[in-house]
Chains A and B, each alone.
Chain A
Amino acid sequence: MITVRGLTKFFGDTPVLNGIDLDIEQGEIIVVIGPSGTGKSTLLRCINMLESPDQGHITLGGHHVDFDRVSNDDRLTLRRKTAFVFQNYALFANKNALENVAERLIVVDGWPKAKAHARAGELLDRVGLNDKHTAYPAALSGGQQQRVGIARAMAANSDLILFDEPTSALDPEWVDEVLSVMKQLAQERQTMLVVTHEMQFARDVADRVIFMSGGNIVEQGPPEALFSAPKDPRTRNFLRKVLGPQAASSE
């Protein structure tokens, strides 16, 4: 179980997150939706401390971190217990697919190179990249790069994988192959926190959907409830925009 309490983040004087409380069960798949600029990505980036939160605390994998006094060790621990999938893939440009996935195992977990490469190979096979082990990022399509990105996140064997709009930068033709890899992970009950605009994915896969607006969690619940009977007007408004008029107002 992962617990976030009172997570607050300012950019300068502007509040981006206003004291977020969030509990994540082991094996839970949570999708975060909401208008852009409402702190969804910042929430993910605060959990693994790519951004430094201003207040609040988190308990993750038995490690408690108070954001008021964060040590370097805390930062490393949170990052090592989580994994991150970036919108722009962010594969290491100087390393091939295999090395990208194996990097963490070698550097952070201290695996011998051969063992790490063998494991990385299995993971790449699982995301359907059997024939791309030695390809460099520049030679891969967006969809392939993002699947390497997911394999890299899987290598961590982490308590939580954070997906920051993993399909937003993709050409439409590559979206499905990435979503299907994510679905497969969800079926294996990998704990996931996914920021996305793919509403169908949220409906099909999420255990819980969170709607964020203005740096707050406005509403949350199982996808069928949230999509068919949103309580808050902001949620209704947003769903009407992304799903079309009849979708959200029919109930």
Chain B
Amino acid sequence: MQILDFGYMAELFPYLLGKLPITLGMASAGMLCALVLASGLAIVRVVQPPLINGAAKLFISFFRGTPLLVQLFLFYYGLPQLIESLVKIDGVTATILGLTLHFSAYMAESIRAAIVGIDRSQTEAALSIGMTQSQLMRRIVLPQATRIAVPTLMNYFIDMIKSTSLAFTLGVTELMGATQKEASSSFLYFEAFLTVAVIYWVVVELLSRIQKLMERKLNKAYQR
């Protein structure tokens, strides 16, 4: 008797690959929305306008301080109870919403740190040539902050891809959900979950390569 049913794995593999677009789609949508929201939050945290700053702090504190799974359940099962029109919120939307809010809280902090980390002399030089605050942000601070923030942000993206697996608890048939269904009908749990693990692993490995290339390109200006 063989240890692993490789035939089953080979059959399962292309089927699961077909679910990859849902996984990557949710992660990409979540990442894009989170980037926008996190940049906004970061700028609020840097500029510190009185009222909004408090709200931003509370937001960040809550979404960093509670598990993603709890947040997903809150949106998927909890929200419709409060707001009638959300009864039809589907799992994919709830997942994207959860990923966006959850990860933007983390990303805001690393973008804020990157902005604050830019040397004061850079800002002063920009002001001295007569730039406005927004020109200084756009042309000097954000490009330099991007270089500092990209490695961390890519790590969050990788984390986000893996976190999409929680969507199966909301009934979404993404990679993990599909695997779960297949496994419970074939009873070949080890083969099924090993296959899906390999798929996640390869995707993350590819992204790490892309991250290295991006970092090399961004660091070009800073080499001696």
Contact = CB atoms under 8 A, between A and B. Distances in A.
Interface string A107-148: 110000000000000000000000000001011000000000
Contacts of A136: 220-223
Given A79-B129, A90-B124, A136-B222, 8 more contacts: A84-B125, A88-B121, A90-B125, A91-B125, A93-B144, A93-B221, A94-B143, A136-B220
Nearest to B131: A107
B121 to A, nearest CB: 4
B130 A92 contact: no
Interface in A82-106: 82-84, 86, 88, 90-96, 103-104
B147 to A, nearest CB: 7
Which of A76, A90, A104, A152 counts the most B-chain CB atoms under 10 A from its CB? Answer: A90
Contact of A92 (B126, B127, B135, B223): B126
Contacts of B139: 103, 107
A33 B23 CA distance: 66
A79 B144 contact: no
Interface string B135-159: 1000110011001000000000000
B129 A83 contact: yes
B149 to A, nearest CB: 14
A138 B223 CA distance: 6
B132 A94 contact: no
A90 B129 CA distance: 12
B221 A96 contact: yes
Given A93-B221, A94-B221, A138-B221, A108 B129 contact: yes
Contact of A94 (B127, B129, B144): B144
B128 A48 contact: yes
A84 B221 contact: no
A7 interface: no
Given A79-B129, A103-B129, A107-B135, A138 B124 contact: no
A71 to B, nearest CB: 13
Contacts of B130: 76, 79-80, 104, 108, 156
A87 to B, nearest CB: 9
B145 to A, nearest CB: 10
A137 to B, nearest CB: 8
Contacts of A48: 128
Contacts of B140: 92, 94
A79 B128 contact: yes
B219 to A, nearest CB: 10
A70 interface: no
Interface string A188-228: 00000000000000000000000000000000000000000
